[in-house]
A and B are shown apart, each in its own frame.
Chain A
C-alpha cells in the first residue's frame, strides 16, 4: 500500500534520512522505533508531504506522492496525527472533528464519520460541546486521533500517540489502534513505548541515526539481542 524507496531527506545541508526503504501492506500495523533524534518524525513528515525528499520515491496505492502538497496527500487517504496533537484548543470537540473532515471528499459524509468516531471513542461524544483545551491529556490524544480519522483515511500515521499519557490511558489508546486495524485501516506508528508497540504491531523497523538498522516481524525483533538491550532493558 505504501512503498518508500531509497529516500534521502535533508534539513538544509544536514542529512536526516539516509537511503530509507520501507513498505506497509494493506491492513498492517507497522511500527517505527528508535531513539530520540533517530529520524522517525522526519520520516513521517516526509511521507505526509510536510518535508520533501531530496531523492528517492514514495508511492501510495500505486501513485507517486513525493512532491505533492500535504493537503493533496490528505485527500488521497493518508492521515497524519502529529506529535503533540496540535488541536484547535479554543474550538469544541465537535468542531475539531469537523476540521478533520475539511477536504471536500470527506466533508459530505462528515456526519456519518463523526458517528463512527464516537463509536471508537465514546468519551468524545460526551465531550462533544466542550472546548478541546478543557479535555484531559488522554482525551486530547483521542480527539487528535478522531480528527485524523475524520478524513476517512486508508492509511493512518500516528506519531507518539502515548506520549505523556498515564499507563491506563495508554492501554486504551493501544486498544483503539488495534480496533482500527480490524476496521481495515492501515497503520504506521512511531512509539517510545517499544515493548507495547511491538506487541500490537505486525512488523517493525528500527531506526538509528537516520538509517534503518533492523527490520522484520515483531516476534523476531523481540528476540534480537540488540533490541532487547537497547529498548527492552533486558
Chain B
C-alpha cells in the first residue's frame, strides 16, 4: 500500500476530523440516551481542557482559574433559567454566560497577568475560592437560598449545544495556533522580554487570550448546569474543575494540537467507568493512572502515539 498518502497530514487530519464530527452529530440517532449523556460530559471535559490549553499551553502561565469561569457560567444559567418564569432562550443564556466569563477573565487578567510563575497559579486558584465565598455570602444574606434549581432542558438540545461549543472552540484553537497572534503568544511563553522587544504588546495578547479561553469555559458551565438541574456554590465552584483540565492535558500530551483533546476524551471516559464500577476507589485508581503517565509517558499519550506511528511508517523523520 502506498504509505505516502497517509504521511501527508494535509489530507487525513481534516478527513478524520470530519468523520468524527459526523459520527458525533448523528449520535442520538444510533446511540442510547445514556451514550448521549456520557458524550455530553466528555465534550464538557474536552472543552475545559482545550480552552485551558489555548491560554496556558503556549504562554506558559499555569492558570487554575478554570473552575471560576466554569462556575460563573453555571450560575449565569441558574439565575437566567429558573424552573419557573425563564424568559430567555437557552442558546442566548449560553452566549451571555460566555460573555460574562470573558469580562471577568479580562478584568482579572489585566490585574494579575503581571505575576509570574507560581504566584499567578496561586492567585488564579484563590480566585475560585473568592468568587465561591462571595456567592455563598450573597445567597445566604440577600436571596436567602442555599442552592438553585434550573429549568429542565431536553437532553438532545443540551448535547447539541455542547457539540456546537466544541466545534467553535476547536476552530478557534486552530486559528489562534496558526495566526500571528498565536505566534506572539508562543513567543511570550518562550521569552517574554524578547517578545516585547520584537514589538509584541505582551499584556494585550495575554489578557485577550485569557478572556477567549474563559468564554468557552463559561459557555460549557452554562450548558452543563442544565443537565445538573440543581446547583449550589460548592458544586459550581468545585476546584476539581481547575485541576482536571490540567491533568487531562498532561495526560494527553501538550506537544501536539490533538493531545489535550484525546487526553480529555479518554480521561473523562475513564472517570465515568471508574466512578460506576469502583465508586469508592475511583480517585485512587485515577491517581495511579496519572503517576503512571508521568513516569512512563512523559510526553503524554501523543508522545506514545507518535513513537508508534513513526515505527509504523518506518520513517526516521522528526515530527513536523
Contacts and interface: CB of A to CB of B under 8 A. Distances in A.
Interface of A: 50, 70-71, 74-75, 80, 82, 86-91, 95, 98-100, 102-103, 107, 129, 147, 151
Contacts of B197: 50, 70-71, 74, 80, 82, 86
Interface in B145-190: 180, 183-184, 186-187, 190
23 contacts: A70-B196, A71-B196, A71-B198, A71-B199, A71-B200, A82-B194, A82-B197, A86-B194, A86-B197, A88-B186, A88-B191, A89-B190, A91-B190, A98-B183, A99-B183, A99-B187, A99-B198, A102-B183, A102-B184, A102-B198, A102-B200, A103-B198, A151-B199
Nearest to B320: A129
Interface of B: 180, 183-184, 186-187, 190-191, 193-201, 320
Given A89-B190, A90-B190, A99 B196 contact: no
A89 B195 CA distance: 12
A103 B183 contact: no
Nearest to B200: A102
Contacts, number: 56
Nearest to A106: B199
A74 B193 contact: no
6 smallest CB-CB distances across A and B, nearest first, come from A88-B190, A71-B199, A103-B199, A86-B194, A102-B199, A102-B198
Contacts of B201: 71
Given A86-B191, A91-B187, 12 more contacts: A70-B196, A70-B197, A74-B199, A86-B194, A88-B187, A88-B190, A88-B195, A89-B190, A95-B186, A98-B183, A103-B198, A107-B180
Nearest to A105: B199
Nearest to A96: B187
Which of B187, B190, B193, B320 has the most C-beta atoms of chain A within 10 angstroms of its own C-beta? B190
B193 A86 contact: yes
A47 to B, nearest CB: 13
A80 B196 CA distance: 13
Which of B184, B191, B196, B197 has the most C-beta atoms of chain A within 10 angstroms of its own C-beta? B197
A107 B201 CA distance: 15
Contact of A91 (B180, B186, B196, B199): B186
Contacts of A102: 180, 183-184, 198-200
Contacts of B200: 71, 102
A95 B183 contact: yes
Nearest to B184: A102
A75 to B, nearest CB: 7
A27 to B, nearest CB: 25
A82 B196 CA distance: 13
A88 B194 contact: yes
Contacts of B183: 95, 98-99, 102
Contacts of A86: 191, 193-194, 197
B49 to A, nearest CB: 22
A100 B187 CA distance: 11
A74 B196 CA distance: 11
Contacts of A100: 198
B58 to A, nearest CB: 10
A94 B221 CA distance: 39
A90 B57 CA distance: 13
Nearest to B193: A86
Contacts of A91: 186-187, 190
Contacts of B195: 88, 99
B199 to A, nearest CB: 4
Contacts of A50: 197
Which of B186, B199, B320 has the most C-beta atoms of chain A within 10 angstroms of its own C-beta? B199
A55 B197 CA distance: 23
Contacts of B191: 86-89
B83 to A, nearest CB: 51
A55 to B, nearest CB: 25
A68 to B, nearest CB: 13
Nearest to A95: B183
